[in-house]
Amino acid sequence: MFSSRRQARIVLVLLVLGAVLAAVFSGASYSSSSSSADASASGASSPWLRRLRRSVLSEGSLVAALPAWAHLTASFLLARQAPIVVLRQGTLLGTIRDDDDFPQPLEAFLGVPYALPPTGERRFARPEPVKSSSRKIDASQYGLRCVAGSLDGNDWGEDCLTANIFRPTGTRTGQKLPVVVYFHGGAFNLGAGRFHNTAALLAWSEKPFIALNFNYRLGAFGFLSGELMAASNMLNVGLYDQLMLLKWVQQNIEQFGGDPNQVTIMGLSAGAHSIGHQIMHTKKGGRPLFHRALLESGATTARAVYPPDAPLPSVQFDEFALASGCSNVDRGQMISCLRKQSVRTVGQASIDVFNRYNPSDRWAFQPVIDGRIIRVAPISDWESGTWNKVPILTGFNTDEGSPFTPTRLDTSEEFTKFFKELIPALSESDLEELNKLYPDPAVDRESPYYDDSSHRRWFAVQAWNSSIRPTAYHASAGQSASVFLYHWAVNTTVKGGASHADQAAYELYNPGIRKISKTQNLLAGYLHAYFTSFVTTGDPNAIKGRYADRPRWAPFTLEAKSGTMVIGEGNDERAGGDSIGVVARMGNISYTKEECDFWWKRTILSES
């Protein structure tokens, strides 16, 4: 007979297996492109069951305590739990994403290739589509991030063109859920798709959708420019990576349960800048690759977009070639030389040249006018009236420029010098007008900035907002599809104010933010509700849910007296204050029209 201890272990195993078979798989079923079961809403949301499932299925302490034979059973259950999707490129073996703060587990397919590895002769070239295969693809781990920022660790490499897809547990092929594709930011030289917790955006959404983030080539690998690259048809290949991803989504997303006719593209900073270029990239007679766009703190007009033979990108190309060890070869052999160099050599050269110009709006390795995906200077593109006219939600933070400007600009001379170096094409009369628009409190007691000890810096900081607003102004005037504009005003730090990207944690309904205070919880809840409603329906008001009492967000129009959703105005809790401000209200930004007009008329100066 078995010992009492062994009997207890067997009973424990039987209880676990019974619970798993009877409840876990009814709430988080095995699914594939051809087979899945309906989720049990009550079971999936039961706290004790979720704890049990996590203990069993995350290779935690309970599984570790089982005897050897039970490990085989647990392994079988784990394999059955893993979601499967069959694509033309192979069979994806996914995993379960069940974070502690998620209300429901998600199915995840990680590191899925959407293009061939851009290595060897494909370095610097436009991406090529993946090939058909019957192989099994492990989609349970994130792939490599693209070469950028740092070469520490072993999580980076050139074979990085992969996507990460998340879906509600039990989603079936043909379910036709809306799709959200997230474009990461990072000045086109930093970041990775997995750095954005897109899964959290989905996990807390009150309407299900398919969520996806992805990598695209960065730095010199994705945005090396200059006359030589233009002659070789190798400009903006990072943008072409994005285009390839959107085509891959159209071809494959139905297998994940998504609807290729309900695709929203969403991004922050350089991600929003990228989306702006994809909006402008039209093709007659082609099937639309996306149907809604959400741009956070970024736009095509938010940074200089030069011709490839402009002095600055030409100088930066030469600096990169020198750092890569290819400056002494014949010009016609330079690309071949760069392709033969190790990925570490080229990657470090890219990082070094970028850092030389950072932080500044004169960053190296940026999108350039190539006559194809970027036909002309962005402001001219808007004025042409030709773009993909889809519903747009866009916005800015009060102090967008705080990470990119010097710590103090306290005199008119420092202020003028800063902008002269940033945009050398500004004339003396331009600089004089700039000083009139942002009057110096040291000489003008009527200045609205009189009480601000760092006044000159804040002028520069707030000037960044003007470059983001043209999307709302031009789109609302030139299309019938709705445009929604927000102004994020929550002060996060004393010096930074409402800085660039501060809203990102709120849109994900971040638990750390929600725990700070009741007001911070509302700010996160409102923003997440607005955003998830827009990405799934095209209207930030359509999905009511937990925050049904949030203010109605009216579309932006040039005629509207109150056309901007202002979020967190007056709130300084995180900056050490005690003001909760106003969570959300419809407001007006006409007070900055003169400043906006100044920058819009001169945008072309930084693009030529």
Residues annotated as catalytic (active site), given as ranges: 269
* Alpha carbons 276 and 261: distance in angstroms, whole number: 20
**Token pair 């994806």 in the structure block, residue:** 92
E-only strand ranges, 120-224? 136-138, 162-168, 177-183, 210-214
**Token pair 């730095």 in the structure block, residue:** 219
| Chain mean position to CA 301 | 18
* Alpha carbons 586 and 593: distance in angstroms, whole number: 18
Report DSSP state, residue 20.
I
For 138, phi then psi, to 5°, come to -70, 110
Give the three-state DSSP class for 395.
strand
* Alpha carbons 340 and 285: distance in angstroms, whole number: 40
* Alpha carbons 338 and 189: distance in angstroms, whole number: 18
* Alpha carbons 325 and 237: distance in angstroms, whole number: 22
Neighbours of 438 (CB within 10 A): 22
Distance set, CA 374 to CA 63, 265, 391, 468 (Å): 54, 18, 21, 18
* 398 bridge partner residues: none
- In a 13 Å sphere around the CA of 381, the CA atoms on its Cβ side amount to 25
* Alpha carbons 546 and 104: distance in angstroms, whole number: 16
* Alpha carbons 566 and 490: distance in angstroms, whole number: 10
Q: What residues contact residue 72 under an 8 Å CB cut-off, 6+ apart?
A: none
For 90, phi then psi, to 5°, come to 145, 180
